[in-house]
Amino acid sequence: SAELKTPLTGAYQQPTGLFIDNEWVDGVDKKTFEVINPSTEEVICSVAEATEKDVDIAVASARKAFEGVWRQTTPAQRGQYLLKLADLTEKNLELLAAVESLDNGKSIMMAKGDIAAVAGCIRYYGGYADKIHGKTIDTNTDTFTYTRPEPLGVCGQIIPWNFPLLMFAWKIGPALATGNTVVMKTAEQTPLSALVFCNLVKEAGFPPGVLNVLSGFGKVAGAALSSHMDVDKIAFTGSTLVGRTIMKAAASSNLKKVTLELGGKSPNIVFNDADIEQAISWVNFGIYFNHGQCCCAGSRVYVQEGIYDKFIEAFKKRAQANAVGDPFNESTFQGPQVSQLQYDRIMGYIKDGKAEGATVEVGGERHGDKGYFIQPTIFSNVKPDMKIMREEIFGPVAAIAKFSTEEEVIKLGNDSNYGLAAAVHTKDLNTAVRVSNALRAGTVWVNCYNMIHHQIPFGGFKESGIGRELGEAALANYTQNKSVSIRLGGAIF
Ligand code: ADP
């Protein structure tokens, strides 16, 4: 481990190893990589890097636990471990939030919200562990059939850097509640909070091998996990590009089950009759929350012509009022982007938007001279074929266009290969329901945005993904049905 410091907690011990079989170990090849603080661009520490050999060891540990101790653990006991883990998460909320802000750059206010949501999610699935049932099915008087939702086995899980510990919780909650074991690969940009969390996993009493956590790179550890012959399922959250690679790896190895939570370019639609102040707050939160680094970010904003000019003027003021700066300042709303690569990608899109003739209403530049900070940016007059209206930017960049009719905006809203989320702002209930039903998206928010909750299924239509996370729906992605038919009468043939 390394002794690190955060402004909130002072000194703390940061684990830096691979977490396999409830032990901290070095990688077989003793490789390490540096973790960067996105606010200062300085190195925080180095952590062990998993290679293919470490993936093999972690998978073997997870397999052993799945065939042995975890199978013998009752559903109620599995639930107890998760409930204990949720309690420990709350007990360590400040530390986990501080590590998240240090490593990811998110404001401490938002990081605390993330960790509270981690506890909520894990507790929710802890509650489900002993409430997962099969059915009985009568086909005729001579046969009795029952179904069993059985765990899939060893689940590989690959997560991104935008909500490091929350994505971790969304993945392990349903997987462990249903009796699977896990090998998790965290994102190379943000490995630290998950490593601190592993100490809590151990403290909660989970048996060795049930949850293994590897820091490492996508092309090495991620690829090894998704093509592994002894992994039964791969769950991935990240870009659509990598999602395709993972699905190919699953198909060409052992046809492991695949769930994907991918990118988006979500429409946020404001009608003439919306409460304009409220709508602006939600549009602002929709695009600038987590510095625009949300797969469901409301990045395409369509405003009806009657309020368009008024909306732009007021939204400009709102965006400029967002406090950008040090994530450890309690009043900060927006911290730095996560990495130099992300910073460069976003600035590239801003350049494209300018070159294609969209109007920069505010922002469009770097904020400050150190760290990966970008000003909240609004483009207006954005045309449907412009890159900034079509591609996921994953940064604090809103693209706004004007529309006149409901029919037109439904077409515009659905004019994307993605279908993760959408929102409608109106006071007319009929408009709200008609438009919500017509939009091809896995989530539609009415008069709000980003209201994600662990009880509500979340996932994508079209190229935004396969399967659903959260809610009862996620349980189906971590179980497979077995039908057992018992003949009560004699032989037929
Ligand atoms: P981003 O481009 O925003 O970093 P990615 O989709 O590349 O998003 O990354 C999300 C996660 O997928 C990370 O944990 C990353 O290491 C992993 N990853 C990247 N490439 C691959 C790959 N070829 N196979 C498996 N995992 C990968």
Reading the chain (493 residues) residue by residue, the pLDDT tens digits are 999 999 999 999 999 999 999 999 999 999 999 999 999 999 999 999 999 999 999 999 999 999 999 999 999 999 999 999 999 999 999 999 999 999 999 999 999 999 999 999 999 999 999 999 999 999 999 999 999 999 999 999 999 999 999 999 999 999 999 999 999 999 999 999 999 999 999 999 999 999 999 999 999 999 999 999 999 999 999 999 999 999 999 999 999 999 999 999 999 999 999 999 999 999 999 999 999 999 999 999 999 999 999 999 999 999 999 999 999 999 999 999 999 999 999 999 999 999 999 999 999 999 999 999 999 999 999 999 999 999 999 999 999 999 999 999 999 999 999 999 999 999 999 999 999 999 999 999 999 999 999 999 999 999 999 999 999 999 999 999 999 999 998 898 8
121 flagged as catalytic: no
Distance CA 256, CA 156 (A): 10
Cβ-based burial of 201 (10 A; exposed 0-12, middle 13-18, buried ≥19): buried
Specify whether 294 is catalytic.
yes
Task: Give the Cα separation of 95 and 26 in Å (integer).
Answer: 24
What one-character DSSP code corresponds to residue 209?
T
**Amino acid 492: pLDDT:** 86
Residue to mutate, 163, 242, 256, 349, ligand 1, most ligand atoms under 8 Å from C-beta: 242
Q: Which atom of ligand 1 lies closest to the CA of 186?
A: 14
Which ligand 1 atom lies nearest to the CA of residue 217?
A: 16
How many other CB atoms are found less than 10 A from the CB of residue 462? 17
Contact in structure between 39 and 104 (CB atoms under 8 Å): no
Question: What six digits make up the tokens of 330?
Answer: 């309690």
Structure tokens at 82: 């998760």
DSSP state at residue 107: -
Q: Indicate the pairing of strand 233-237 with strand 257-261.
A: parallel
Position 266 scores a pLDDT of 98
pTM of the model: 0.98
Contact call for residues 289 and 445 (beta carbons, < 8 A): no
Beta bridge partners of 18: 25
Q: Whose CA is closest to atom 27 on ligand 1?
A: 218
For the chain, helix, strand, coil in percent to 5 are 40, 25, 35
Distance of CA 239 from the midpoint of ligand 1 (Å): 7
**With contact defined as beta carbons under 8 Å apart, do 374 and 343 qualify?**
yes
CA 186 to ligand 1 center in whole angstroms = 9
Q: Is the ipTM of this complex over 0.95?
A: yes
Q: Which residues lie with the beta carbon below 6 Å from any ligand 1 atom?
A: 158-160, 185, 187-188, 217-219, 222-223, 226, 238-239, 242, 245-246
Strands 154-158 and 233-237: parallel
Name the catalytic one among 121, 155, 294, 296: 294
- For residue 415, the CA-to-ligand 1 centroid distance in Å is 26
- Atom 16 (ligand 1) nearest CA: 218
Question: Strands 136-140 and 143-151: what pairing?
Answer: antiparallel
Q: DSSP readout, 376-412? A: -EEEES--TTSHHHHS---SSEEEEEEE--HHHHHHH
**Residue 237 and residue 399: Cα distance in Å, rounded?**
24
**In this structure, what is the dihedral angle of CA atoms 222, 128, 82, 235, given to the nearest 10 degrees?**
0
Q: For residue 187, give the ligand 1 atom closest to its CA.
A: 14
CA of 208 to the centre of ligand 1 (A): 27
- Protein residue closest via CA to atom 20 of ligand 1: 218
Query: Distance between CA 189 and CA 2 in Å, rounded?
Result: 17
User: Looking up tokens 């004019």, which residue turns up?
Assistant: 415
Q: How many angstroms separate the CA atoms of 52 and 471, rounded?
A: 33
Residues 6+ apart with CB under 8 A from 460: 260, 261, 262, 264, 418, 419, 420, 441, 442, 466
Name the residue at shortest CA distance from atom 18 of ligand 1.
218
Residue 160 Cα to ligand 1 middle (Å): 7
CA angle 447, 452, 456 (to 5 degrees): 105
Write down the residue that tokens 């999610």 correspond to: 121
| Ligand 1, atom 13: closest residue by C-alpha | 187
pLDDT at 16: 98
Ligand 1 atom 23: residue of nearest CA: 219
Cβ neighbors of 478 (< 8 A, separation 6 or more) are: 151, 152, 155, 174, 175, 177, 178, 180, 233
pLDDT at 126: 98
- What gap in Å lies between CA 253 and CA 260, rounded to an integer? 17
Name the active-site residue from 49, 188, 261, 392: 261
Pocket test for ligand 1, best of 47, 52, 158, 227 (most atoms within 8 A of CB): 158
- Tokens for 181, please give them: 């074991």
CA of 242 to the centre of ligand 1 (A): 6
Tokens of 475: 């349980």
